[in-house]
Every structure is written in structure tokens, then in C-alpha cells.
């Protein structure tokens, strides 16, 4: 197995699957997560091959994907087997991508170092300037309002900041992830302050 060839083949597969995805799991989300995962992984001394494979594949089995795009864990296994990836690495990658979703809320002790790194990179992409953009894009794709001040518990994009985005900073696993998250968190607080200011309310 040549690791570079394997990564290029998986990258190509994921690119073709997700290039037209419109709910925030598009190829460029994957590419950003992969790059940040490698950056964090290097500083945290993780196995970078496992990290990169898991980052590239992390959203393909997600329930939020359209049925015609989504694949099963068994499909991921055959994909990696075709590239001659060792079974031990395949098991690890599968375990990571099944655990990292926020919804499944697996506590960090069940994640390997590589899993923590990929989860941190995925969470980083949900906050800061990029996270804000993804939230409005996702919200728009679901027909939600930007903000509805008369209905604080209704589903609007601003509500999602409180439900998820502002909580992520304290859920980061690694020191590098925490450091990168702090800056993005501050930017979101600044953003909300300006948003309410422009809206004209006194919040």
C-alpha cells in the first residue's frame, strides 16, 4: 500500500460524491476539516494517515446526507480494502467516523487521539466566520428565517448559535483545538453583538 496513492484515491472518491452537496457537508467542508485535522494532528503527535483518512470520510455515512449520496460503514470498509489499507487502520477509521458526530455525543474517553483530532477539526469548521456562513447556508436550505426576535425558541439561524455554536469551544478535546477554537469563539461573540446592534434591539 502506498499511502499517497491511497489518500489521492479516497480524496477523488469523496470529491466526486460531495462536490454538489448543498447542506454544509460539501467537498470544501471536508477539505477544510482535513487540513485543520492534519495541522492539529501534527502538533498533537497523532497518526496522520489515520487522521487524514477519517477526516476525508467523516461525513459520508451521516444521516443528513441525501439518500443517493450517503454510503454505509460497509461501503467505507470495501472502499478502503480496495486500496489495500490494513484491517487495523480500517477498523480505527470506521470507529472514528461513527463516533464523531455531535448528535451521538460520545464522551471523549471513548475516542482515540486520532478521533479527538478529527472531531476538533470538524467542530472548528462549525464555528468562527466559516461556521457562521455554514449556519446561514444550512438554515436557508431548510427554509428557516435568519432571526425571529418575537419567537426566541423558534427555529431560526441565530437560535442555532445558542443551541450549538457557542457551546463547541468548551467541548474541544485537544489543547491545539482549544486554542484555535477560542479565537473563532470570540469572533462569533463579536458578530452577534454587531448583529443585534444593527437589528436595533437592546440584547
Q: For ligand ADP, which stretch binds (CB under 6 A), given 49-57, 75-83, 135-143, 177-185?
A: 135-143
Q: Three-state SS for 145?
A: strand
36, 135, 173, 176: residue in contact with ligand ADP (rule CB under 6 A): 135
Q: Nearest Cα to 42, choosing from 55, 51, 54?
A: 51
Told to check if 157 binds ligand ADP by CB under 6 A, we report yes
- CB closer to ligand ADP, 72 vs 78: 72
Instruction: Give the integer Cα–Cα distance in Å for 197 and 63.
Output: 37
Q: Which of residues 31-70 bind ligand ADP (CB under 6 A)?
A: 59, 64
| Cell matching residue 29 | 467542508
Residue 195 has phi, psi (to 5 degrees) of -60, -50
Residue 156 has phi, psi (to 5 degrees) of -140, 170
Q: For ligand ADP, which stretch binds (CB under 6 A), given 9-17, 132-140, 175-183, 190-198?
A: 132-140
Question: Shortest gap between Cβ of 58 and Ni ion (angstroms)?
Answer: 6
Q: For ligand ADP, which stretch binds (CB under 6 A), given 108-116, 157-165, 176-184, 185-193?
A: 157-165
x/- string (CB under 5 A) for Ni ion, residues 48-87?
Answer: -----------x----------------------------
How many other β-carbons are positioned within 10 Å of the β-carbon of residue 61?
A: 18
- CB closer to Ni ion, 101 vs 148: 101
Q: Is the distance from CB of 36 to CB of 177 less than 8 angstroms?
A: no
139, exposed or middle or buried, with CB in 10 Å at 0-12, 13-18, 19+?
buried
| Cell matching residue 110 | 471513548
Using the structure block, give the residue that is written with the C-alpha cell 487524514. Answer: 52
Told to check if 6 binds ligand ADP by CB under 6 A, we report no
Give the total residue count for the chain: 203
44, 92, 114, 122: residue in contact with Ni ion (rule CB under 5 A): 122
Which residues form the interface with Ni ion (CB under 5 A)? 59, 122
Which residues are at the interface with ligand ADP (CB under 6 A)?
24-25, 59, 64, 101-102, 122, 126, 131, 134-135, 138-139, 157, 160, 164
Amino acid at each position: 500500500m502506498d499511502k499517497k496513492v491511497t489518500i489521492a484515491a479516497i480524496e477523488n472518491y469523496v470529491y466526486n460524491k460531495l462536490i454538489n452537496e448543498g447542506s454544509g457537508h460539501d467537498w470544501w467542508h471536508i477539505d477544510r476539516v482535513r487540513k485543520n485535522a492534519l495541522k492539529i494532528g501534527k502538533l498533537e503527535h497523532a497518526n496522520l494517515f489515520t487522521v487524514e483518512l477519517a477526516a476525508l470520510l467523516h461525513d459520508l455515512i451521516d444521516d443528513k446526507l441525501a439518500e443517493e449520496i450517503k454510503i454505509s460503514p460497509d461501503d467505507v470498509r470495501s472502499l478502503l480494502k480496495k486500496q489495500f489499507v490494513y484491517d487495523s487502520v480500517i477498523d480505527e477509521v470506521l470507529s472514528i467516523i461513527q463516533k464523531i458526530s455531535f448528535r451521538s455525543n460520545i464522551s471523549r474517553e471513548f475516542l482515540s487521539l486520532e478521533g479527538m483530532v478529527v472531531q476538533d477539526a470538524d467542530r472548528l469548521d462549525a464555528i468562527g466566520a466559516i461556521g457562521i456562513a455554514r449556519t446561514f447556508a444550512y438554515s436557508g436550505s431548510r427554509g428557516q428565517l435568519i432571526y425571529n426576535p418575537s419567537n426566541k425558541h423558534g427555529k431560526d439561524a441565530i437560535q442555532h448559535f445558542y443551541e450549538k455554536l457557542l457551546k463547541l469551544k468548551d467541548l474541544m478535546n485537544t489543547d491545539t483545538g482549544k486554542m484555535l477554537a477560542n479565537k473563532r469563539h470570540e469572533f462569533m461573540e463579536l458578530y452577534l453583538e454587531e448583529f443585534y446592534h444593527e437589528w436595533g434591539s437592546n440584547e
